[in-house]
């Protein structure tokens, strides 16, 4: 199964750039289907109200339940004090399976990391080339799986890519997505140093073409089993650890303890039994 682990959906409200204005899902879905992508993780574009933006994403996921899985976007500072509640709501109501934080707004705080840990959700974080924060986050929260967007930089910062490659190899709970990474040799280095289990295919759609982004993975020329990990196996493994909240028909495999939780209330959320983080040893 091919899974794009990084795509945006819905409308932003700032309207100064594409990524805070509109992320139309239909053109993306046409391109993704043509590229052979089975499922896609979607999150809001930049927004001044993530409760509202997540609800939009929830409605979009509801329209395409077989193809889309939501991640809850939170602003670590602006939403302080209600992050658990926002994320839990999204998990329960729309079966969201992860958290997105963008360092351009605020880096993940303890509140964000503890929410991810409690709900066993992967935390997709754009560190905006400030890859040194990964050295703070990863050892403080070894139970949280961090996915570092764009291999550390969406602006071709080679130092950030370099550092994230080392961090992938060093920390069992650090992963990275390939979306928007142009300097190809850092993708090659990531696989060589950290192994195919640490890299995740992502497109940053709808602004980047998923067919172009997936070709970067194909061009690695990896053995089929390793390519399959990057194209979907790795993110599915991380999502299976979540299994929190309402029943989710969108993921095959994985099993919630005692079946799926239903209805409201934190106490009713059940957690996975196979919830240990990945255990690769550092090189």
As a residue count, the chain comes to: 283
Shortest distance, CB of residue 73 to Zn ion, whole angstroms?
Answer: 10
Shortest distance, CB of residue 185 to Zn ion, whole angstroms?
Answer: 22
Stretch that binds Zn ion, among 113-121, 167-175, 197-205, 240-248 (CB under 5 A): 197-205
Stretch that binds Zn ion, among 87-95, 195-203, 204-212, 262-270 (CB under 5 A): 204-212
Residue that has been written with the tokens 């990275």 in this structure: 176
Total residues binding Zn ion (CB under 5 A): 1
Contacts of 170 (CB under 8 A, 6+ apart): 282
* Token pair recorded at residue 161: 């890519």
Stretch that binds Zn ion, among 45-53, 80-88, 198-206, 269-277 (CB under 5 A): 198-206
The neighbouring-strand residues paired with 268 are: none
Across the chain, the runs of DSSP E, i.e. the strands, are 3-8, 10-11, 22-23, 39-43, 68-70, 72-73, 99-102, 123-126, 146-148, 174-177, 199-200
In eight-state DSSP terms, residue 82 is: -
Stretch that binds Zn ion, among 32-40, 200-208, 261-269, 271-279 (CB under 5 A): 200-208
Nearest residue to 103 (alpha-carbon basis) of 70, 149, 139: 149
Asked whether 141 and 116 are in contact (CB, 8 A), the reply is yes
CA–CA separation, 168 vs 199, rounded Å? 8
CA–CA separation, 53 vs 10, rounded Å? 7
Phi, psi of 5 (to 5 degrees): -95, 10
Residue closer to Zn ion, measured from CB, 179 or 244? 179
Residue closer to Zn ion, measured from CB, 74 or 256? 74
Residue closer to Zn ion, measured from CB, 105 or 204? 204
Contact call for residue 213 and Zn ion (CB under 5 A) = no
Taking residues 24 to 63 in sequence order and writing x for each that binds Zn ion by CB under 5 A, - otherwise, the string is: ----------------------------------------
Residue closer to Zn ion, measured from CB, 95 or 128? 128
Residue closer to Zn ion, measured from CB, 88 or 204? 204
* Token pair recorded at residue 217: 């993975």
Shortest distance, CB of residue 205 to Zn ion, whole angstroms?
Answer: 9
User: Applying CB under 5 A, which of residues 79, 105, 189, 204 lies at the interface with Zn ion?
Assistant: 204
Name the site residues for Zn ion (rule: CB under 5 A): 204
């Amino acid at each position: 199964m091919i899974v794009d682990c990084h795509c945006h959906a819905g409308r932003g409200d700032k309207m100064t750039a594409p990524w805070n204005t509109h992320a139309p899902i239909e053109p993306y879905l046409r391109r993704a289907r043509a590229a052979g992508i089975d499922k896609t993780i979607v999150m809001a574009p930049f927004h001044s109200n993530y409760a509202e933006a997540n609800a939009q994403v929830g409605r979009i996921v509801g329209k395409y339940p077989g193809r889309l899985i939501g991640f809850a976007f939170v602003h670590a500072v602006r939403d302080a004090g209600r992050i658990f509640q926002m994320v839990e709501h999204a998990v329960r109501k729309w079966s969201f399976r992860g958290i997105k934080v963008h360092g351009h707004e605020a880096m993940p705080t303890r509140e964000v990391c503890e929410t991810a840990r409690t709900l066993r959700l992967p935390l997709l974080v754009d560190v905006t080339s400030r890859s040194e924060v990964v050295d703070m986050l990863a050892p403080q929260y070894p139970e949280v799986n961090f996915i570092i967007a764009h291999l550390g930089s969406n602006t071709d910062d080679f130092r950030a890519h370099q550092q994230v490659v080392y961090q992938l190899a060093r920390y069992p709970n650090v992963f990275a997505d390939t979306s928007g990474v142009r300097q190809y040799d850092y993708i090659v280095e990531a696989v060589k140093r950290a192994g195919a289990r640490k890299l995740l295919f992502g497109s940053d759609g709808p602004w980047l073409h998923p067919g172009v982004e997936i070709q970067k993975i194909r061009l690695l020329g990896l053995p089929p089993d390793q390519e399959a990990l990057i194209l979907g196996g790795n993110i599915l493994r991380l999502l299976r650890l979540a299994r929190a909240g309402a029943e989710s028909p969108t993921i095959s495999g994985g099993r919630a303890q005692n079946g799926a939780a239903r209805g409201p209330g934190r106490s009713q959320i059940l957690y996975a039994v196979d919830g240990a983080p990945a255990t690769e040893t550092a090189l």
